[in-house]
Amino acid sequence: MCELLGMSANVPTDICFSFAGLLERGGRTGPHRDGWGISFYEGKGSRSFKDVLPSCESEIANLVRTYPIKSKSVISHIRQANRGGIKLENTHPFCRPLWGRNWTYAHNGQLSNYKQMLTVEEQLPIGNTDSELAFCWLVEKLAERFPKKPKDMSSAFRFAANKVNELRALGVFNMLLTDGVYVLAFCSNHLTWITRRAPFGKATLIDSDWIIDFQKETTPNDIVTVITTRPLTHDEDWNVLQPGEYALFKFGELISSKTLKNVNPINVEA
């Protein structure tokens, strides 16, 4: 399985500390050696870095780890390939335009019978993973449900969560999705999150000896939520999402969450 990392913040924030913990799991403290990627949002723009090398060996990953790119929304992924070859086109996160913004997505899990169950017409995959095909299907369902950008964007993300719950019927589907403002986390079996706000304290990474004092790195008004497959620190209390539960964040704040019931796979095509 792969691992996910996401961030939602109310001020531009760098993710160097959390990313440093994640990249160690990409081949050093974990088996996820089949590539990695990360996408940052800056206003309406976004920039992505990807590599097919293990993140623990990648010079590009080391650049990201040491270069404090500040963003309000970030999605990252380290890959252990199970569908599709180890190629750049199969490396997460994936991005598609919708309603005048770039939407970014990463998936952890594996689907069965997805080629038969998921049909797309316009959003054609570039690579050959189950993850990207599922993203293309999801984007098409969003565009069908909302021909124009909805006034309340949270309604679109709640709709997306329900469609992702249908995808969960095909297998394991842990997911992160963002338009640069909202960040949606959906849990199939493993996903955790933590919101850091004043009073800030210290934290130590599980996968390295990096200790950070957030009080020295933040202001009293900062709100930063980090979402990851498994906790990155061992001296903080992480929230554990339950199977079928989604959490929707905006600028660091949890604005919606719900545990959705299992659905029959036949509903995916309904």
231, two tokens: 């906790």
CA nearest neighbour of 80 among 13, 14, 5, 27 = 27
- Rg (C-alpha) for the chain, rounded Å, is 17
User: Is the CB of residue 229 less than 8 Å from the CB of residue 4?
Assistant: yes
Positive or negative torsion for Cα 146, 151, 153, 157: negative
Amino acid at 247: A
Q: Dihedral, CA atoms, 224, 230, 234, 237, nearest 10 degrees? A: 50
Q: Which ranges of 80-129 would DSSP assign to H, the alpha helix?
A: 114-117
Residue 158 CA to chain centroid, in angstroms? 16
End-to-end CA distance of the chain: give it in Å, rounded: 29
Q: Burial level of 42, CB count in 10 A (0-12/13-18/19+)?
A: middle
Cis-peptide into 93, omega within 30 deg: yes
Is 40 in a helix, a strand, or coil? strand
Among all residues, which ones are annotated catalytic? 2
